[in-house]
Amino acid sequence: MNKLLLVAIPVVVLVAFATWKPVFPPSITLNDDACIDCHEDSSPGLVADWRASKHYLEDVSCSDCHGGKHTTVEDSDEARLPTPDTCADCHDDRVEEFKKGKHALAWAAMKAMPTIHWQPIGMIEGQKGCAGCHKIGL
């Protein structure tokens, strides 16, 4: 009996690993799977942040905030960068609170530099963007 278990348990574990697929919330689409697959390689910190967030638990997908136009490396400029107005679609009360605080001033200063989002992350580090203080996705 013990020998049978010694053989059966590793077989079950191997079959489980061979057939395992990540479980995404039900509303995550195939397009969002592609986002996740690509960004796990290019920016794993962003994917990890999303998976640890309430957005992941509440089935908020990549395209909900970033749109669906960016699908390849070549069209990355088509990804919509969320703004407070994007957040207000679901979090109107939080955005109103945000607009009254210091982060709204920082957002306005950052938006005054019209090419800020075209810069690589290395160019906007050092207190020159959200990641400067918060280290988001790094």
Return the domain boundaries, the chain: 23-80, 82-138
- CA 68 vs. chain centroid, Å, equals 14
Q: Is 131:121 a contact under the CB 8 Å cutoff?
A: yes
DSSP state of 119: S
Measure the N-to-C terminal CA separation of the chain; round to a whole number of Å.
50
Is the pTM above the cut of 0.85?
no
In the prediction, which pLDDT does 90 show? Answer: 92
Residues 6+ apart with CB under 8 A from 67: 78, 79, 80
In the prediction, which pLDDT does 96 show? Answer: 92
* Mean pLDDT by groups of 10 residues along the chain of 138 residues: 63 56 47 83 88 90 89 86 88 91 79 68 56 58
